[in-house]
Structures are given as C-alpha cells and as structure tokens.
Amino acid sequence: MKTLLIFNDAPYGSERTYNGARLAGALSRLAEDQVRIFLIGDAASAAHSGQKVPAGFYNLELMLGGAVRHGAEIGVCGTCMDARGIQETSLLAGAHRSTLDELAQWTAWADKVLVF
C-alpha cells in the first residue's frame, strides 16, 4: 500500500499533526507499506530540527525522524518554508524542500491520501 499523509496544522497547539505523525510512524513500520509525508502551511515547522519541548511532551522532530528511519519520505512546501523563514539546512534529516508539483506527483502515486 502506498500512503500519502498531508499535514496542515502547526506542530504544537492542536493534536492533528501529532496524530498524523503517530499514524505515519505506524504505517512506516509495516513492511508492505510505503509512506510519504507532505508538510504544508504551518505544518512546515514540524520538520524543523533542534526542537526543544517540555519534559514528557511529544516531539514532532523525533516522531517524524522515526518514520524516516523506517523508509518514509518527507517533503516540506518550499513556499511555506520561505514564509516562515525556514532554511533547508535546518530541516530534520530525511526531509527535503518540496513543491506543489511534487505533491501532485505524490498524490497520483498514492493508493490512499490522508489529510490532517
């Protein structure tokens, strides 16, 4: 199964991106699944490396990094990165600056598209 997950919300403040990252991690651990994650809008900040969160709080950088270690690909909207002052060099390992053209290609590639 090929699954594309699209995240829209900020990494913290609501649990939508958190729950999407949980599902992405679980899907990426299934041997028969291929997972791609696209971060757009405020979700672009979820791929920023060096996140510091309070003790006992979830960390989106670590969660997304776990999905990458299990083969997931992460694209981050370049326009959204620019609007938030995020440099490609500050993205977590395994994430890359992306485009809406790539999102369109990934959407056509996927068997399922899930939006958070």
* Alpha-carbon span 83 to 44, nearest angstrom: 10
Q: What's 12-57 look like in SS3?
A: CCCCHHHHHHHHHHHHHCCCCCEEEEEECHHHHHHHECCCCCCCCC
Are the C-beta atoms of 111 and 2 separated by less than 8 Å? yes
Domains in the chain: boundaries: 2-115
pLDDT, average across residues 99-110: 98
Distance from chain centroid for Cα 98: 11
Q: Is the pTM of this model over 0.85?
A: yes
* Torsion sign across C-alpha atoms 104, 106, 108, 114: negative
Q: What digits encode the pLDDT tens for the residues 24-60?
A: 999 999 989 999 999 999 999 999 999 998 988 999 9
- Mean pLDDT over 51-74 rounds to 94
In the chain, pLDDT over 70 holds for what percent of residues? 100
Report the 10 Å Cβ neighbour count for 111.
10
pLDDT at residue 56, rounded to an integer: 87
CATH 3.40.1260.10 fits 2-115, yes or no: yes
Percent of the chain with pLDDT over 90: 93
